[in-house]
Amino acid sequence: MSGVRGSVELVDVTKRFGSMVAVDRLNLEVHPGEFLSLLGPSGCGKTTTLRMLAGFDQPDEGYIKISGEFVQGVPPYKRDVNTVFQHYALFPHMSVSENVAYGMRQKRVPKSEIAGRVAEALDMVKMSKLADRRPKQMSGGQQQRVAVARALVNRPSVLLLDEPLGALDRKLREEMQIELKLLQSQLGITFVFVTHDQEEAMGMSDRIAIMLDGHVEQLADSESVYERPASAFVAGFIGRNNFWKGTSTGHGVQASDGTVFVSSSPEERVAQGQPALAAIRPECIHLSATDPGSTTNVIPGTIAGVSHYGDVLQYVVRTAERDVISLLPRQGALRLAPGDQVWCHWEASEVYQFSADQADLVMAEPALEHI
């Protein structure tokens, strides 16, 4: 039993609301003690997945195991999990300690034990000094700490967190990210953490499940989802990418404007002659003021915009097919101005090739909207 305590398994889980499929044959395995994030755009099924783990919703198909046990029909309070929501839902008329103690009182845990466990939970989230405060006498970040303490006091093996930092401003959110991550590694309990913020997921997680339309598109660590995106959607959602649509040449893509993207990747993802996407990250697009004289991996264009971001410069290059984004270190970069003629070029090792299935999804936004 100890080997699986804190594990979570979802197998072919589907959840419908009327004709709406919110979660679509989702498969996911979370290891004991792991910090796993569910990351994806709004409406992709993150909250619904979490609510099924918590027991607030039941799957229509498939099954869920928590700590090795099937949880079909097991009510929320009997599961080895606790949930922290974005809106902390503290009782306004109760003090911090009373809020944290509430669940144990309901379960008739002996009074002598309650006091000790409340003190321990408040200590974990560094809120011991504010034990007598009311929620409205505290900041958003402090209230969210209390919500975490209230969940931890039950000593669950798995903590479910649904965008717990979503309501906090940026600086506080970054502080809380560090603290929550530290707390998780100290306690060694499993965190299933929902967020739509890729940086938050990348910074905190052991692994990230990137979700789209109710299923997991890729499950891997931060480095892998960035370096080896499993689909065009992941390549566009994690970090940024420039995409071109064309036809596979086997180890590359010929775009409709004639540009040839040659990839040095040993993987041949799309059969020759099939519709394909080429993708290149903005930081891999180099700019040259003279024609590099190559027939592949180069596009001529004109500078349409320049933005300064501290130590990086962002150029928008207008080319025949579309706008291309290039991000270059300021140090040593050419100083280019709108109207200048340039050649975008890149290494074959930086060219990703994907099937064209998700072309509409990843190419919907014109590049200029990113500025």
Residues that bind ligand ADP (CB under 6 A): 17, 20, 22, 40, 42-48
**What DSSP line would sit under 241-254, residue for residue?**
-EEEEEEE-SSEEE
Counting other chains too, the contacts that 97-106 makes at CB distance below 8 Å and 24 or more residues apart are 97/122, 97/131, 97/132, 99/135, 99/146, 99/150, 100/146, 100/149, 100/150, 100/153, 101/153, 102/150, 103/150, 103/153, 103/154, 104/153, 104/154
Give least dist CB 30 to ligand ADP, A.
17
Give least dist CB 213 to ligand ADP, A.
9
User: Which option in Mg ion, ligand ADP, none does residue 91 bind, with CB closer than 5 to 8 A by kind?
Assistant: none
Strands 190-195 and 35-39: parallel
* Smaller CB separation from Mg ion, 36 or 104: 36
Q: Which residues in 206-243 are b (16+ Cβ under 10 Å) and which e? A: bbbbbbbbbbbbbbbebeebbeebbbbbbbbbbbebbb
Amino acid letter, residue 337: A
Task: State how far the Cα of 92 lies from the Cα of 172, in Å rounded to an integer.
Answer: 22
User: Which option in Mg ion, ligand ADP, none does residue 45 bind, with CB closer than 5 to 8 A by kind?
Assistant: ligand ADP
User: Which option in ligand ADP, Mg ion, none does residue 252 bind, with CB closer than 5 to 8 A by kind?
Assistant: none
User: Which option in ligand ADP, Mg ion, none does residue 254 bind, with CB closer than 5 to 8 A by kind?
Assistant: none
* Smaller CB separation from ligand ADP, 43 or 292: 43
Give least dist CB 216 to ligand ADP, A.
12
Residue ranges of E strands in 174-221: 190-195, 207-212, 215-220
* Smaller CB separation from Mg ion, 45 or 301: 45
Give least dist CB 42 to ligand ADP, A.
4
User: Which option in Mg ion, ligand ADP, none does residue 326 bind, with CB closer than 5 to 8 A by kind?
Assistant: none
Give least dist CB 85 to Mg ion, A.
10
* Smaller CB separation from ligand ADP, 51 or 117: 51
The answer to the question of residue 47 lying near Mg ion (CB under 5 A) is: yes
Give least dist CB 24 to ligand ADP, A.
10
Task: State how far the Cα of 129 lies from the Cα of 110, in Å rounded to an integer.
Answer: 24
Footprint of Mg ion on this chain (CB under 5 A)?
Answer: 46-47
